[in-house]
């Protein structure tokens, strides 16, 4: 990986950590969520989840399970496979 690629990766990693930290704080502010309504009702916008798969992913089963049990009403999952011959 060249210098610019490394800096880009570090930048996006930092951005992801920052977003996670902000979301974590917002969830704590809103409470534990035990009595909360679902995150979105059927009037919310439709969102897309893109799964890019290459090779065997050890977390794929857990990912599908969590997608199936999440509480957002309107979502679509798009699965992109790098190669049909991946194992």
Domain enclosing residue 27, as ranges = 1-36
Number of domain units in the chain: 2
CA angle 20-24-26, nearest 5°? 120
- What's the pLDDT tens digit per position in 47-67? 888 888 877 778 888 888 888
The better pLDDT of the pair 84, 79 is held by: 79
CB 51 within 8 A of CB 78: yes
Q: Quick one: average pLDDT of 4-16?
A: 77
The DSSP code for 74 is S
Based on the domain organization, do 14 and 28 belong to the same domain? yes
Dist. CA 67–CA 76, nearest whole Å? 10
Based on the domain organization, do 55 and 86 belong to the same domain? yes
Based on the domain organization, do 47 and 80 belong to the same domain? yes
Based on the domain organization, do 13 and 43 belong to the same domain? no
Q: Which of 38, 36, 45, 30 is nearest to 75 (CA)?
A: 45
Q: Which of 29, 16, 83, 36 is nearest to 56 (CA)?
A: 83
């Amino acid at each position: 990986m060249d210098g610019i690629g490394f800096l880009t990766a570090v930048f996006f990693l930092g951005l992801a950590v920052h977003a996670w930290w902000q979301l974590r704080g917002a969830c704590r502010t809103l409470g534990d969520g035990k009595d909360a309504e679902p995150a979105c009702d059927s009037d919310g916008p439709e969102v897309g989840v893109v799964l890019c798969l290459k090779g065997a992913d050890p977390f794929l089963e857990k990912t599908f399970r969590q997608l199936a049990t999440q509480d957002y009403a309107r979502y679509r999952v798009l699965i992109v496979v790098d190669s049909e011959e991946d194992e």
